[in-house]
Amino acid sequence: MDGDLKTMPEVGDAPRRSAAPRPKTLRWFLIVGLLLLVVLGGLYGFNRYRERAIADFFAHNAPPPAQISAVVAKSEIVPRSATGIGSLAAVRQVTITPEIGGRVTAILFTPGEDVKAGELLVQLNDAPDRGDLANYQAQARLAAVSLDRAQRLARNQYESQANVDQAQSQLDQAKALIQKTEAIIAQKQIRAPFAGRLGVRQIDLGQVLTAGTPIATLTDLSKLYVNFTLPSSMRAELKVGQRVDVTADAFPGRHFTATVTTIEPQISPTTRTITLQATMDNPDNMLLPGMFVNAAVQLPPGPQAVVLPETAVDYTLYGDSVYVVRESGKGADGKPVLTAHRVPVKTGKRWDDKVAILSGVKPGDEVVAAGQIKVQDGGRVVVTGNPPPAPPAEPPLH
């Protein structure tokens, strides 16, 4: 029995055998935790190293400076003008019509051609009139002979003065009929009243015309009127003889010069504007009557202002601005480092690809004139020395 009692398990043996694996489990948890800490620490350190390397790369690898063209702001006198919209009218323009009726026997012009003053354009049938002319000329010759005979007989007291006067009257009547018939024949020869360009032909050969039937238009294109209006408040600054700059949408980039020749002495009661008429030469007959034009009357110049090329101004919905070039220290080579800074400006009058700067830029400031698209505010720039871009050339005329 003693042997049996020794082999019997004690009451507390079972719990001690079940608690034995706990230290091993804790070790595994510690090992896994340490591995996770090592991995996470390595990832964190790698990210920090990568961020620092990227920052060092960008810090020591700045983008190259943008190449620009720059101009120095100058103070100039700003021209003043009063601009209005007007239209062109011919100084001499007429619709050619016959004074008397007749049948067209010859058309001697080509539509659209230039003709000289007095050039024959249309011939109407004048055969009956030429027959009448021959008759009257014969009567005039007979009356002249009769008058001469009566005068010789009267000098010898063989003819009365009454007969002489009657013969003189017959001669005068014949001459008057000749003049009338010659005038009718001339009226049937329709000629150009002045030099100009003909329009579309509106008649046909053999057509019977009545007085006033349109044949074609004739326009003298060498000189034109510019009729336009301006506010009546500007009347004190307007006078005859002022220069007018004229532009037309049909010829972009072209400028024409006119001179104020007439100022309407009345103000329009509906629009409260004053009508002006300027006269201009029409080189190469480019402009045509009826065209709409912009007319700018040159007024006495205003005060001086800072002037820049129009390409230097960046126009946006948020306001106008320019890039001003400034020195920002010295580089490693000892040369000055230039940076461009965006400066808001207030613009004024624009003319001839220039713009007046009312505020924001001072005379002597160096301003970016071309290459703004590559410039960032505060970014480095290099002035190439190239002049600012020239305005586009005038389009060729065909």
CA distances from 324 to 71, 338, 345 (A): 10, 10, 11
Question: Is the residue at 271 inside a domain?
Answer: no
Task: Please say whether the beta carbons of 229 and 260 come within 8 A.
Answer: no
Helix (H) or strand (E) holding 178: helix 161-187
- Final residue in a domain of this structure, among 186, 218, 237: 186
Return the pLDDT at 4.
Answer: 46
Rounded distance between C-alpha atoms, residue 153 and residue 140, angstroms: 20
Closest by alpha carbon to 235, among 286, 289, 272? 272
Residue 213 is assigned to a structural domain of this protein? no
CA distance 231 to 82: 9
Q: Flag whether 71 is in a domain.
A: yes
Q: What's the CA gap between 94 and 267, in Å, rounded?
A: 29
Measuring CA to CA, how many Å separate 143 from each of 3, 68, 129, 149, 171?
A: 196, 97, 21, 10, 5
Q: Which residues pair with 244 in a beta bridge?
A: 258, 297
What dihedral do alpha carbons 277, 281, 284, 285 form, nearest 10°? 30
Q: How far, in Å, CA of 240 to CA of 37, rounded? A: 95
394 located within any domain: no
314 within domain boundaries: yes
Residue 18 domain flag? no
Identify the pLDDT of residue 21: 54
Instruction: Compute CA distances 77 → 74, 125, 306, 353, whole Å.
Output: 10, 68, 9, 15
Write down which residue in 186, 205, 235 finishes a domain: 186
| 102 within domain boundaries | no
* CATH code of residue 340: 2.40.420.20
Q: Which of 152, 168, 186 is the last residue of a domain?
A: 186
What DSSP character marks residue 233? G
Q: Are residues 364 and 308 in the same domain?
A: yes
Radius of gyration of the chain (CA): 50
Q: How far is the CA of 55 from the CAs of 50, 59, 62, 377, in angstroms?
A: 9, 6, 11, 21
Q: Cα separations (Å) of 359 from 77, 309, 315, 341?
A: 15, 15, 15, 16
Residue 39 has φ and ψ, to the nearest 5°, of: -65, -50
Is residue 71 a contact partner of residue 366, using CB atoms and an 8 Å limit? yes
With the C-alpha atoms ordered 80, 84, 85, 91, is the resulting torsion angle positive or negative?
negative
Q: How many domains does the chain have?
A: 2
364 inside domain: yes
Tell whether 379 and 307 lie within a shared domain. yes
Residue 248 pLDDT = 94
Q: Which domain range does residue 181 map to? A: 126-186
The pLDDT profile of the chain, 398 residues, written as one tens digit per residue, is 444 444 444 444 444 454 455 677 878 878 888 888 888 888 888 888 888 877 776 666 666 788 888 888 988 888 888 999 999 999 999 999 999 999 999 999 999 999 999 999 999 999 999 999 999 999 999 989 988 888 888 887 777 888 888 889 999 999 999 999 999 999 999 999 999 999 999 999 999 999 999 999 999 999 999 999 999 999 999 999 999 999 999 998 889 999 999 999 999 999 999 999 999 999 889 999 999 999 999 998 878 889 998 888 988 888 899 999 988 877 767 778 888 899 999 998 888 888 999 999 999 889 998 888 888 888 888 888 666 666 555 544 43
Q: Which residue has the tokens 């110049």?
A: 301
